[in-house]
Amino acid sequence: NAGVTQTPKFQVLKTGQSMTLQCAQDMNHNSMYWYRQDPGMGLRLIYYSASEGTTDKGEVPNGYNVSRLNKREFSLRLESAAPSQTSVYFCASSRAGGNEQYFGPGTRLTVT
């Protein structure tokens, strides 16, 4: 039981390049989330998927798109990376309702 997995672990991009961050969970959770973590700012929600087939914007969605590929997988895409998107990205999943979220190990992204 791997929990929440994320690929890649590290990535360096040049401004304007695109990339997709992958996330998968094996806990049969309905809901999945993408956060970014910046020093002194805690974690901020980028997008979420309350259930398979739905996605919604979070607190900081600009510059990102998401795809809920199936119940297990939820990807985050940067179409044209900017230095302001340098951050650590975390994927999480949860059951329905007010249950806790389980986090992946993170992807450290640097945009130069």
**Under 8 Å between Cβ of 4 and 25:** yes
Give the span between the Cα atoms of 64 and 98, in whole angstroms. 26
Among 22, 44, 61, 73, binds other proteins (CB under 8 A): 44
Nearer to other proteins, 18 or 51 (CB): 51
Work out whether 99 is an interface residue with other proteins (CB under 8 A): yes
Q: Is 105 in the site for other proteins (CB under 8 A)?
A: yes
34 is an interface residue for other proteins by CB under 8 A: no
Give the C-alpha separation, 13 to 89, whole Å: 14
Total residues found in the chain within this entry: 112
> For residues 60 and 67, what is the distance between their CA atoms, to the nearest angstrom?
16
Which residues of this chain interact with other proteins, rule CB under 8 A? 4, 30-33, 40-45, 48-51, 54, 56, 58, 90, 92, 94, 96-106
